[in-house]
Amino acid sequence: MNFPLIANIVVFVVLLFALAQTRHKQWSLAKKVLVGLVMGVVFGLALHTIYGSDSQVLKDSVQWFNIVGNGYVQLLQMIVMPLVFASILSAVARLHNASQLGKISFLTIGTLLFTTLIAALVGVLVTNLFGLTAEGLVQGGAETARLNAIESNYVGKVSDLSVPQLVLSFIPKNPFADLTGANPTSIISVVIFAAFLG
């Protein structure tokens, strides 16, 4: 490793420790997120100004920085299935009569549809506001490999199924395999399994 790379990593670690010290302050979560965002933007702009966007030092630094970012995302993904399982199990176990199940189901589906609508509207508005198009997007080797992996792992498994087979695939054969996210319909299977346990 060369000196600029080590210096970038040291500065990054110092910024992480400075950001970690905000937990001792009585700041709101929004303020902490804003401080982290501003620190990240300033640090990124400084690196781009110093090294330029095509610098090998910058590319190597980003690989080291991604340990924190991608590690955080993977830790979140790690808890999704157990969290879904425990939440559904707890909710069904707390129901005292069947009439509550319909009300909660309607409220849950309504909330999901409403948040999906908001996300779609934000996407459409931002696209139209800034005149964004897909022109000029270049698909690199990493994107092509990821797309091929998704197509081979998920699309092939689901697209070959008829509608009755797809519905049948929601019923968990092995709930522990579904807890690992092994199938394209794993989350739905975990929800069904947790509802039966509850």
Domain assignment present for residue 84? The answer is no
Q: Does 156 have pLDDT greater than 60?
A: no
Angle in degrees, 0-180, between the axes of helices 186-197 and 56-94, rounded to the nearest 10: 30
Per-range mean pLDDT, top range of 15-24, 82-91, 127-136: 15-24
Mean pLDDT of the chain: 81
CA distance 174 to 179: 9
Note the pLDDT of residue 193. Answer: 74
Note the pLDDT of residue 161. Answer: 67
Domain assignment present for residue 65? The answer is yes
- Tokens representing 147 are 């797309």
CA distances to 89, 101, 197 from 95, in Å: 10, 7, 13
Report residue 116's pLDDT band, with 50, 70 and 90 as the boundaries.
confident
Domain assignment present for residue 49? The answer is yes
CB-based burial label for 194 (10 Å; 0-12, 13-18, 19+): buried
| Domain span including residue 17 | 1-79
pLDDT > 90 fraction of the chain, expressed in percent and rounded: 20
128-147 confidence digits (pLDDT tens) = 898 888 776 667 777 778 77
Residues 18, 65 share a domain: yes
Residues 179, 122 share a domain: no
How many domains is the chain partitioned into structurally? Answer: 3
Note the pLDDT of residue 154. Answer: 61
Q: Which of 20, 15, 76, 77 shows the shortest CA–CA distance to 46?
A: 15
Domain assignment present for residue 16? The answer is yes
Residues 112, 174 share a domain: no
pTM for this model (two decimals)? 0.55
Residues 53, 107 share a domain: no
Residues 73, 101 share a domain: no
Note the pLDDT of residue 155. Answer: 60
Domain assignment present for residue 74? The answer is yes
105: Cα separation from own chain's centroid:
24
Note the pLDDT of residue 148. Answer: 77
Note the pLDDT of residue 160. Answer: 67
Residues 75, 1 share a domain: yes
Residues 71, 126 share a domain: no
User: What mean pLDDT do residues 102-125 have?
Assistant: 85
